[in-house]
């Protein structure tokens, strides 16, 4: 059946490629990815401008996953006549054929946007109906094209950070198997970010600023949202003016750790659940002894020691850049200083008296 | 017209591809020249039934190698010590090789050296053979070495044989939360824990040798894990010898509490039969049997059974257990304080499951020294000093045999 559809799509593409003046069709077959990013027709004009064609909609998240200070420019596309169903429980129920297009780039100089940027990779997640397929495209140095690449790469990147300091990292483009390291839920690949609570924010479109969920509804990409006022929103992890410390910390853990540290994720063997709605106690790591943290303990006993970030394994692993000790295990080479500070402040704010240090009689 | 023609070709090629996919068994031999560049690619593009052959030689990798989902994959080298995958310059990945969700996996005939984290992790796989593999760290006993050498976890039907694991700062062989496991004819040395079985059900561990580790062989149940408890493990015909190595595990890890000079430690795991093992030359203890409660480390899971119950130790040869006992770890210090530095062939914490006082049977282990710390009556040092005794006679009993045959059908089919 799949093959018939595929042949039909190819046939369609032949029909359409004959009308050279008509709009370029977006066609995605995850089983036969295009060699070049430009072949998908997501963008018009210069590819590096990432200027989306009609119905390729840019979006943003309240709290994103940290990726070595890279910026991410995200887009969503759904086949004509289809839409995602509203749900507050998990990632939106996207229709088959949906593509999430994520471009990773560094601004050459964060203090001066005029100095341009360097795009390193574009990841396309395509919903094939059963699960999501990850297609990786690595940009050339000339920034004219990105080429399909399953084995990933290591790219040296230099830039100037907002404080005016020179930064450098060996940026790692993951290989195809590694997609699942983060994206597997019960061994099935799924997106991580686009949940209602993470999409519920304003975005500045060329036509003006609008709430993303409303924009998606208006575009026909989202059905079933009854009232935007009732839609949940996760905290913006670095907006201390609008959200309290606990909420920001939970939002940060949710997007940076929760994709593995959930009961059906890759890190379920640890027994640690780091999701926005995790109970503040043992599941979150409070006075939780490690099982197989390896070098990751840093000499500490518990994942979180209330009031004492320096004695907490969680902080130790966030502050490490040793591949055998650090968390997350992949997708990071640098230490997210601001993220560490947030979680350390949060642990410091916990009152040890509120947590029991044990449920058993102790020897010591 | 042209389109029809093409359509036909495409349809035909698809049919051809489909027919290939069914039952294809492709053998892909990598060469010395292309292995480094090609191996990861082959692991990604592998199709069901593929056999990936590695030549002899040393090959370095900067990133983890990973394998996902594709069933019936074999990776076979020229033999341990001959095909060496070195991760000395690794900058990414928490393990050397990671295989996830593979049904039918054979890893055979190669060495993984100096990975930043675990050497070979096999997670959520079924019908796994790990044979003639070596895992090691080449700079000696360092806290910065990887935690586990061979690490099958949450897997079902696992056979590990003819492997060698050394210099892991946790366990050389670590079987975690798995079911139907056979570990035989392996050699583990110079690790903190030589071989460890954790929260595992239905296993047999035999004819293995553990030397110069901190602790030779451990059978632990840890709390708050998806597979809450282990069950039914038989340990027999193993040799644990001179496991007096320093404990170089980073503080905070459970194994960092293992006293140098420990032959075998059973903790909270239930239904263990250990017989016909030789345990000799340990400076702290031959065999210890403890409850998780003895560690004082809290747990939450209601499904977790912290007691070691139905522990049957018989016909073991425990000799040359000779102090002075360890004084470098918390547990070692406790034992040394209580027992004056003397080593014991068999030490139990005496924290028995309420209502099951005779759940330990120790028979026919020769003329052994024995101490029951009787910590069930109190875990403070002065309590144990007062309550401990050397009465082995009340453990002179037999326990019914338990069934570990679930893996037999699978093993027979190989």
What is the spatial distance between Cα A300 and Cα B251, in angstroms, rounded to a whole number?
A: 6
Q: Which two tokens stand for residue A85?
A: 């169903």
- Give the nearest partner residue to B66 out of A178, A298, A333, using CB atoms: A178
For residue A150, the chain B residues in CB contact (below 8 A) are 41, 44-45
* Predicted local distance difference test score (pLDDT) of residue A163: 94
- Contact check, Cβ <8 Å, B14/A3: yes
Question: Which residue of chain A comes nearest to B292, CA vs CA?
Answer: A360
Distances (CA, A) of B350 to A150, B127, B357: 56, 38, 10
* Predicted local distance difference test score (pLDDT) of residue B3: 52
The 10s digit of each residue's pLDDT in A180-197 is: 878 877 778 899 889 999
- Give the nearest partner residue to A295 out of B14, B147, B292, using CB atoms: B147
pLDDT at position A215 over 80: yes
Distances (CA, A) of B79 to B55, B111, B172: 9, 8, 18
Residues 269-298 of chain A whose Cβ lies under 8 A from any Cβ of chain B: 269, 271, 281-282, 287-295, 297-298
Contacts of B102 by beta carbon, 8 Å cutoff, 6+ apart? B67, B68, B69, B70, B71, B73, B122, B125, B126, B128
- Contact check, Cβ <8 Å, A187/B69: yes
Give chain A's mean pLDDT: 88
The per-type count for chain B, helices as H runs and strands as E runs, is 5, 31
Q: Cα(first)–Cα(last) distance of chain A, in Å?
A: 66
Residues 171-210 of chain A whose Cβ lies under 8 A from any Cβ of chain B: 172, 175-178, 180-181, 184, 187
For residue A184, the chain B residues in CB contact (below 8 A) are 100
- Give the nearest partner residue to A288 out of B91, B123, B224, using CB atoms: B224
Distance from CA of A261 to the nearest CA of B (A): 12
Supply the DSSP string of B46-103, one letter for each residue. Answer: --TT-EEE--SEEEE-SEEEEEES-SSEEEE-S-TTTEEEE-TT--EEEEEEEEES-E
What is the spatial distance between Cα B134 and Cα B132, in angstroms, rounded to a whole number?
A: 7
Residues 341-360 of chain A whose Cβ lies under 8 A from any Cβ of chain B: 356-360
What is the spatial distance between Cα A351 and Cα A158, in angstroms, rounded to a whole number?
A: 41
* Predicted local distance difference test score (pLDDT) of residue A20: 43
- Residue in A315, A306, A304 with CA at minimum distance from that of residue A341: A315
Question: Which residue of chain A comes nearest to B99, CA vs CA?
Answer: A177
- Contact check, Cβ <8 Å, A175/B63: yes
Interface test with A, best of B12, B300, B330, B385 (most A CBs within 10 A): B300
Supply the DSSP string of A121-172, one letter for each residue. Answer: EEEEEEE-SSSEEEEEEEEPTTSS-EEE-SS-EEEEEEEE-TTS-EEEEEEE
* Predicted local distance difference test score (pLDDT) of residue B114: 97
Interface test with A, best of B65, B73, B147 (most A CBs within 10 A): B147
Question: Taking CB atoms and an 8 Å cut-off, how many pairs form between chains A and B?
Answer: 177
Residues 95-154 of chain A whose Cβ lies under 8 A from any Cβ of chain B: 150-152, 154
- Contact check, Cβ <8 Å, B69/A360: no
- Give the nearest partner residue to B300 out of A301, A322, A359, using CB atoms: A359
Q: A337: phi > 0 → left, psi -120 to 50 → alpha, else beta; which?
A: alpha
DSSP classification of residue A89: S
Q: Cβ distance B381 to B337 under 8 Å? A: yes
Which spans in chain A are helix H?
2-18, 176-183, 196-199, 212-219, 245-256, 313-319, 337-349
pLDDT at position A17 over 60: no
Bigger pLDDT: A213 or B412? A213
pLDDT at position A358 over 90: no
- Contact check, Cβ <8 Å, B63/A152: yes
* Residue B185 CB neighbours (<10 A): 14
- Contact check, Cβ <8 Å, A282/B224: yes
Would you say the C-alpha torsion A173, A174, A176, A180 has a positive or negative sign?
negative
* Predicted local distance difference test score (pLDDT) of residue B21: 43
* Predicted local distance difference test score (pLDDT) of residue B357: 59
- Give the nearest partner residue to B293 out of A3, A10, A360, using CB atoms: A360
What is the spatial distance between Cα A273 and Cα A264, in angstroms, rounded to a whole number?
A: 10
What is the spatial distance between Cα B212 and Cα B18, in angstroms, rounded to a whole number?
A: 53
What is the spatial distance between Cα B261 and Cα B251, in angstroms, rounded to a whole number?
A: 18
Q: How do B126-136 and B103-113 pair as beta strands?
A: parallel
- Give the nearest partner residue to A323 out of B3, B116, B226, using CB atoms: B116
* Predicted local distance difference test score (pLDDT) of residue A278: 85
* Predicted local distance difference test score (pLDDT) of residue B38: 92
Contacts of A256 by beta carbon, 8 Å cutoff, 6+ apart? A65, A66, A328, A339
- Contact check, Cβ <8 Å, B176/A269: yes
Give, for all 414 residues of chain B, the pLDDT tens digit.
Answer: 445 555 555 555 554 444 444 445 789 899 998 998 899 999 999 999 999 999 999 999 999 999 999 999 999 999 999 999 999 999 888 899 999 999 999 999 999 999 999 999 999 999 999 999 999 999 999 999 999 999 999 999 999 999 999 999 999 999 999 999 999 999 999 999 999 999 999 999 999 999 999 999 999 998 878 888 999 999 999 999 999 999 999 887 889 999 999 999 999 999 999 999 999 999 999 999 999 998 887 777 889 999 999 999 999 999 999 999 999 998 999 999 999 999 999 999 999 888 765 689 999 999 999 999 999 899 899 999 999 999 999 899 988 888 888 888 888 876
For residue A323, the chain B residues in CB contact (below 8 A) are 90-94, 116-117
Place of tokens 């002179």: B396
Distance from CA of B400 to the nearest CA of A (A): 31
* Predicted local distance difference test score (pLDDT) of residue A146: 98
For residue B333, the chain A residues in CB contact (below 8 A) are none
Q: Cβ distance B243 to B204 under 8 Å? A: no
Distances (CA, A) of A80 to A4, A194, B218: 19, 20, 59
> What average pLDDT does this structure show over A288-295?
68
Q: Cβ distance A208 to A192 under 8 Å? A: no
Q: How do A117-127 and A132-139 pair as beta strands?
A: antiparallel
Question: Which residue of chain B comes nearest to A300, CA vs CA?
Answer: B252
What is the spatial distance between Cα B104 and Cα B96, in angstroms, rounded to a whole number?
A: 20
* Predicted local distance difference test score (pLDDT) of residue A107: 97
What is the spatial distance between Cα B179 and Cα B196, in angstroms, rounded to a whole number?
A: 14
The 10s digit of each residue's pLDDT in A232-260 is: 999 999 999 999 999 999 999 999 999 89
Q: Which two tokens stand for residue A140?
A: 């050339």
Q: Which two tokens stand for residue B20?
A: 């290939």
- Contact check, Cβ <8 Å, A358/B296: yes
Question: Which residue of chain A comes nearest to B175, CA vs CA?
Answer: A292
- Contact check, Cβ <8 Å, B252/A151: no
- Give the nearest partner residue to A295 out of B224, B250, B296, using CB atoms: B250
* Residue A96 CB neighbours (<10 A): 12
Q: Which two tokens stand for residue A225?
A: 């949202």
Q: Cβ distance A179 to A134 under 8 Å? A: yes
* Predicted local distance difference test score (pLDDT) of residue A7: 54
* Predicted local distance difference test score (pLDDT) of residue A280: 87
Angle (deg, nearest 10), helices A245-256 and A337-349: 130
The 10s digit of each residue's pLDDT in A115-155 is: 999 999 999 999 999 889 999 999 999 999 999 999 999 99
- Contact check, Cβ <8 Å, A363/B375: yes
The 10s digit of each residue's pLDDT in A294-341 is: 567 787 888 999 999 999 999 999 999 888 788 998 888 899 999 999
Interface test with B, best of A360, A362, A364 (most B CBs within 10 A): A360
For residue B147, the chain A residues in CB contact (below 8 A) are 292-295, 324
Task: Phi first, then psi: give them for residue B82, nearest 5 degrees.
Answer: -105, -50
Burial status of residue B157 (CB atoms within 10 A of its CB: 0-12, 13-18, 19 or more) = buried
For residue A268, the chain B residues in CB contact (below 8 A) are 226
- Contact check, Cβ <8 Å, B66/A297: no
Burial status of residue B55 (CB atoms within 10 A of its CB: 0-12, 13-18, 19 or more) = middle
Q: Which two tokens stand for residue B239?
A: 């040799």
For residue B375, the chain A residues in CB contact (below 8 A) are 363
A301 touches chain B (CB under 8 A): yes
A317 touches chain B (CB under 8 A): no
The 10s digit of each residue's pLDDT in A66-125 is: 999 999 999 999 999 999 999 998 899 999 999 999 999 999 999 999 999 999 999 999
What is the spatial distance between Cα A10 and Cα A141, in angstroms, rounded to a whole number?
A: 31
Rg (CA), chain A: 22
- Give the nearest partner residue to A323 out of B90, B148, B170, using CB atoms: B90
- Residue in A297, A286, A259 with CA at minimum distance from that of residue A347: A286
Q: Cα(first)–Cα(last) distance of chain B, in Å?
A: 53
> What ipTM describes this predicted complex?
0.73
Supply the DSSP string of B204-222, one letter for each residue. Answer: EEES-EEESSSEEEEEE--
Interface test with B, best of A170, A286, A294 (most B CBs within 10 A): A294
- Residue in B30, B43, B147 with CA at minimum distance from that of residue B83: B30
Distance from CA of A11 to the nearest CA of B (A): 7
The domain locations on chain A are: 30-230, 245-354
Q: How do B92-100 and B63-68 pair as beta strands?
A: parallel
Q: Which two tokens stand for residue B91?
A: 């900058």
Centroid of chain to Cα A127: 16
* Predicted local distance difference test score (pLDDT) of residue A3: 57
- Contact check, Cβ <8 Å, A298/B124: no
């Amino acid at each position: 059946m799949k093959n018939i559809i595929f042949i039909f799509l190819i046939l369609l593409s032949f029909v359409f490629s004959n009308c050279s003046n008509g709009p370029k069709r977006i066609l995605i077959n995850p089983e036969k990815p295009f060699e070049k990013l430009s072949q998908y027709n997501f963008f018009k004009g210069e590819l590096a401008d990432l200027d989306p064609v009609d119905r390729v909609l840019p979006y943003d998240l309240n709290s994103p996953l940290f990726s070595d200070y890279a910026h991410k420019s995200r887009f969503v596309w759904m086949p004509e006549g289809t839409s995602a169903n509203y749900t507050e429980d998990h990632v939106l129920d996207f229709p088959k054929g949906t593509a999430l297009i994520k471009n990773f780039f560094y601004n050459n100089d964060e203090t001066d946007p005029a100095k341009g940027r360097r795009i390193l990779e574009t990841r396309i997640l395509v919903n094939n109906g059963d699960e999501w397929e990850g297609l990786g495209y690595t940009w050339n140095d000339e920034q004219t094209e990105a080429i399909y690449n399953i084995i990933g790469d290591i790219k040296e990147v230099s830039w100037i950070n907002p404080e005016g300091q020179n930064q450098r990292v060996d940026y790692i483009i993951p290989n195809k198997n590694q997609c699942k390291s983060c994206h597997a839920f019960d061994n099935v690949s799924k997106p991580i970010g686009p949940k209602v609570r993470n999409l519920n924010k304003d975005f500045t479109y060329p036509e003006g600023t609008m709430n993303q969920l409303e924009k998606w509804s208006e575009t026909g990409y989202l059905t079933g949202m009854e009232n935007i006022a009732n839609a949940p929103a996760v905290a913006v992890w670095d907006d201390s003016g609008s959200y309290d410390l606990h909420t920001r910390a939970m939002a940060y853990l949710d997007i940076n750790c929760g994709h593995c540290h959930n009961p059906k994720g890759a890190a379920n063997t640890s027994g640690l659940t780091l999701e926005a709605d995790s109970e503040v106690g043992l599941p979150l790591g409070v006075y939780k002894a490690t099982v197989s943290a390896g070098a990751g303990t840093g000499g500490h006993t518990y994942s979180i020691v209330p009031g004492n970030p320096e004695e907490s394994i969680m902080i130790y692993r966030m502050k490490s850049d040793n591949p055998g000790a650090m968390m997350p295990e992949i997708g990071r080479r640098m230490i997210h200083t601001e993220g560490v500070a947030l979680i350390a402040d949060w642990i410091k704010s916990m009152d040890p008296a509120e947590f029991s240090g044990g449920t058993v009689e102790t020897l010591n | 017209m042209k389109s029809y023609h093409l359509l036909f070709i495409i349809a035909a090629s698809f049919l051809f591809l489909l027919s290939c996919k069914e039952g294809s068994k492709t053998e892909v031999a990598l060469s010395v020249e292309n292995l480094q560049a090609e191996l990861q690619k082959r692991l990604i593009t592998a199709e069901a039934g593929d056999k990936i052959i590695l030549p002899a030689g040393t090959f370095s990798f900067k990133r983890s190698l990973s394998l996902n989902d594709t069933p019936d994959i074999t990776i076979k080298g020229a033999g341990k010590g001959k095909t060496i995958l070195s991760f000395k310059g690794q900058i990414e990945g928490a393990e050397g090789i990671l295989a996830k969700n593979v049904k039918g996996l054979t890893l055979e005939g190669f060495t993984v050296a100096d990975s930043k984290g675990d050497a070979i992790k096999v997670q959520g796989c079924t019908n796994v053979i790990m044979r003639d593999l070596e895992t090691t760290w080449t700079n000696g006993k360092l806290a910065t070495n990887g935690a586990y050498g061979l690490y099958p976890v949450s897997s079902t039907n696992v056979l590990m044989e003819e492997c060698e694991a050394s210099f892991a700062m946790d366990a050389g062989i670590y079987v975690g939360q798995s079911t139907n496991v056979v570990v035989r004819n392996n050699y583990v040395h110079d690790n903190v824990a030589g071989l460890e079985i954790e929260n595992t059900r239905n296993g047999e561990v035999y004819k293995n040798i553990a030397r110069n580790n901190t602790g030779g062989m451990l059978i632990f149940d840890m709390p708050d894990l998806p597979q809450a408890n282990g069950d039914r493990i038989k340990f027999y015909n193993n040799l644990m010898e001179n496991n007096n190595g320093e404990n170089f595990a980073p503080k905070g890890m459970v194994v960092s509490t293992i006293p140098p000079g420990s032959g075998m430690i059973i903790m909270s795991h239930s239904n263990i039969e250990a017989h016909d093992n030789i345990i000799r030359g340990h400076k702290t203890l031959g065999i210890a049997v403890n409850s998780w409660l003895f560690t004082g480390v809290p747990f939450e899971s209601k499904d977790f059974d912290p007691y070691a119950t139905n522990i049957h130790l018989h016909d073991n040869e425990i000799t040359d257990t000779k102090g002075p006992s360890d004084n470098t770890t918390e547990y070692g210090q406790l034992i040394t304080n209580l027992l004056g530095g003397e080593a014991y062939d068999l030490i139990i914490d005496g924290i028995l499951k309420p209502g099951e006082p005779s759940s330990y049977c120790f028979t026919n282990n020769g003329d052994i020294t024995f101490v029951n710390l009787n910590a069930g009556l109190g875990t403070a040092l002065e309590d144990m000093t007062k309550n401990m005794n050397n009465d082995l006679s009340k453990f002179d009993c037999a326990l019914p045999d338990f069934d570990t045959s679930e893996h037999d059908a699978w093993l027979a089919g190989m």
